[in-house]
Amino acid sequence: MSTDELFLFGEEKMEKAINQLKKELGGVRTGRANPIILDKVLVDYYGAPTPLRQMSQVSVQEGTTLVINPYDKTIIKEIEKALIKVDLGVQPNSDGMVIRLTFPPLTEEKRRETTKDVKKFGEESKVVIRNIRRDMVDDLKKLEKEENMPEDAVKDSQDEIQKLTDKYIGIIEKLVEEKEKEVMTV
């Protein structure tokens, strides 16, 4: 492994950690309807668990209602069962053609609670980034021994690893800050 590969793999892992955080933050309720919240809903479609968003069109209505329009109207009952099972905090309302999920506005207390969850997701992601940094530094030390790298090259590489870490920690902080603002906006 070269230092270039070390940085490439390290940055790739950090990028995956950011994508995971985005996915987790996307599932956080903010009082506004967001189709991402349905990503974890699997519907029993002729015996096969199928993601809801693959079998229906989902749209947002008036900012607080998700309208689920299944391509196959015969599975509306199965979709309702799946939505109840996942427990999104709202009851599905069906008229036989579409299913509506209306999200009530969050209370002040629930907003503060949700903000704490958002911060927790951010902290967990920072820990992941720091663990990746630690692994990169360990790999760098192995490289140093294997290839007899000069001390200044090792020091430069360690500085680059820290810069990369700081960059991704900054991205996490920005994502968390944006989500907190979104949650606290009434």
Closest CA to 74 of 101, 56, 100, 54: 56
Check residue 57 and give its pLDDT: 92
Q: Are 154 and 43 in contact (CB under 8 A)?
A: no
Q: How confident is the model at residue 106 (pLDDT cuts 50, 70, 90)?
A: confident
Q: What share of the chain is helix, strand, coil (3-state, %, to 5)?
A: 65, 15, 20
List all residues 6 or more positions away from 1 whose beta carbon is below 8 Å from its beta carbon. Answer: 139, 143
Does this chain's domain 3-27+107-184 share its CATH topology with 35-102?
no
CATH topology for 35-102 is Gyrase A; domain 2 (3.30.1360)
Tell me the pLDDT tens digit for each residue of 27-82.
Answer: 777 777 778 888 888 888 888 898 988 899 999 888 888 999 999 888 899 999 88
The CA distances from residue 151 to 138, 147, 154, 156, 164, in Å, are 15, 12, 5, 9, 20
* CATH number attached to the domain at 3-27+107-184: 1.10.132.20
In this structure, the strands spanning 56-61 and 65-70 are: antiparallel
| Domain boundary assignment for the chain | 3-27+107-184, 35-102
Percent above pLDDT 90 for the chain: 44
